[in-house]
Structure 1
Amino acid sequence: MSKLLFAAFSEGVNLSMAGNHEAAILAFDKVLAVDPKHVPALTAKGSSLVELGRTQEALACFERAIEVDPNAADPHRDAALCQLELGEPEAASERMQRAVQLNPVPGYREAAAVEVYALGNALLTRGSRRPDKARYRQARHVFELALELSPAYVEAAKALADVWEHLGDTAQRDHYAQLAIRLRPVGG
């Protein structure tokens, strides 16, 4: 049976890597039908759902993976990214902090900050129209988390200055603009 699970999981991974996320989800569902606690299939299915823009469903997969293995860092990180996208910054911050506690490997926190920052940029560039105040407020929370994860992240500080400019708070804009300047390396 484990060879069949491995084959179905491998098929799902290959389909996902090829960009065929709908078919990948079906392959991961085959694995989960036999072993509903298969954490790699749960997280891979969640990742494919994210790629399809089905964030709420993806969050459910990551939450199930956390239930099965609460000490795995990546499902916490992935769930946090979903929560940020769904406009749940407090819950996302808690989950992300748990992820970096579980994975203290150097660079994990900074890599998570980069992912969070990228999500903030995606929130502002998604769609055909200019972002409205609600989207800027959501991006603010996202960029704040990126800066919290990596306090020397110059780009996150710059992004916060820009967001506060659009939200009309010049004191906050100036604060983050000054922070970005102070974070620049000497000679940079």
Structure 2
Amino acid sequence: MSYYNEGVDLTKANNHQEAIVHYDKALELNKNNVKALVAKGHTLDTAGFSYKEVVSLYDKALKIDPKCTEAILKKGIVFERVGLYHKAISSYDDMLKIEPENVEALYGKAVSLNSQKKYHEAEFFCKRAINIEPENLRALGSMVWILEHQKRYEEAMDFCDKAIEINPHFFYTLSYKGKLLYDLGRFSEALVYYDRALKLSPKDKRAIYYRNKIANKFEKLKKKPFPIKF
């Protein structure tokens, strides 16, 4: 087995330090090994290294192979996560020039546009993604997020319900349905969905925050004195 393949297995096993050693060995044998550069970048990203270190590896890969779609897409995802939305959109656009129907690039671009409050454009690209893959949970979840930011809660709920119908155990949409119900003031229902979500991801801070907020509302209602009638 090659150093690269062993590195991939180690990355999958979350043994990031050893994986990086193997990718470095693969790169010692061939400094132009694009797969090893991209895999090392992904592993550094997963292990929590700085985004600049991660992006530099993707850039090295792209100097060797400017059409390496994996490096282009992963670069966009990193920029999006750290809030560099203009750079993220640029990467997604590069991806879409090569693969115009790449769903991940379409909804990734939509999310970055939404973060810039360009809601109409965000919705357009997200709809394109959903039209290509109607059951893509990430695309559906992105549309929920885009509509929620516009306070179009009922429309967002429709996409949320569709995603839950496809996969009743997808944390993101269960948690987001809880948030939508919270926004609509339907606190008892929201609590049910947050409880379902937290069974899947017990340490998620956002879900815990809203779940506790709802629980506190109910606790205050219990303590609130009833009006005295004469």
Q: Same fold (TM over 0.5)?
A: yes
Out of 88, 91, 94, the residue aligned to residue 90 of structure 2 is: 94
TM superposition shift of 1:103? 2.6
User: Could you tell me how far apart the structure 2 residues matched to 1:30 and 1:156 are?
Assistant: 39
Out of 156, 159, 174, the residue aligned to residue 142 of structure 2 is: 156
- Aligned pairs for 1:25-174 (under 5 A) are 25-54=20-49, 55-104=51-100, 109-113=102-106, 116=108, 140-141=115-116, 147=123, 149-151=125-127, 152=130, 153-162=139-148, 164=149, 172-174=150-152
TM superposition shift of 1:147? 4.5
**Is 9-18 or 138-147 further displaced after alignment?**
138-147
Contact 1:154-1:180 at 8 Å conserved across structures: no
TM superposition shift of 1:180? 4.4
Query: When the two structures are superposed, what TM-score results if normalisation uses the length of structure 2?
Result: 0.53
Out of 10, 13, 22, the residue aligned to residue 5 of structure 2 is: 10
- Tell me, yes or no, if structure 1 residue 19 matches structure 2 residue 14: yes
**Is 140-149 or 90-99 further displaced after alignment?**
140-149
Contact 2:27-2:36 at 8 Å conserved across structures: yes
TM superposition shift of 1:50? 1.4
Contact 1:143-1:160 at 8 Å conserved across structures: no
State the number of aligned residues.
149
Cα 1:138–1:157 change in 2 (3 A) is closer
Q: Secondary structure at the match of 1:150?
A: helix
Query: When the two structures are superposed, what TM-score results if normalisation uses the length of structure 1?
Result: 0.64
Q: Secondary structure at the match of 2:32?
A: coil
Cα 1:161–1:49 change in 2 (3 A) is same
Q: Which amino acid in 2 is paired with 1:150?
A: C
TM superposition shift of 1:139? 7.5
User: Could you tell me how far apart the structure 1 residues matched to 2:76 and 2:103 are?
Assistant: 15
- Aligned pairs for 1:174-185 (under 5 A) are 174=152, 177=153, 180=156
Contact 1:155-1:180 at 8 Å conserved across structures: no
Cα 1:39–1:180 change in 2 (3 A) is same
User: Could you tell me how far apart the structure 2 residues matched to 1:10 and 1:160 are?
Assistant: 39
Q: Secondary structure at the match of 1:173?
A: coil
CA RMSD of aligned residues (A): 3.5
Larger Rg: 2
1:109-153 per-position Cα deviation (integer Å, ceiling 9, x unaligned) = 223456x49xx7xxxxxxxxxxxxxxxx99825996875543245
User: Could you tell me how far apart the structure 2 residues matched to 1:74 and 1:161 are?
Assistant: 29
Q: Which amino acid in 1 is paired with 2:97?
A: Q
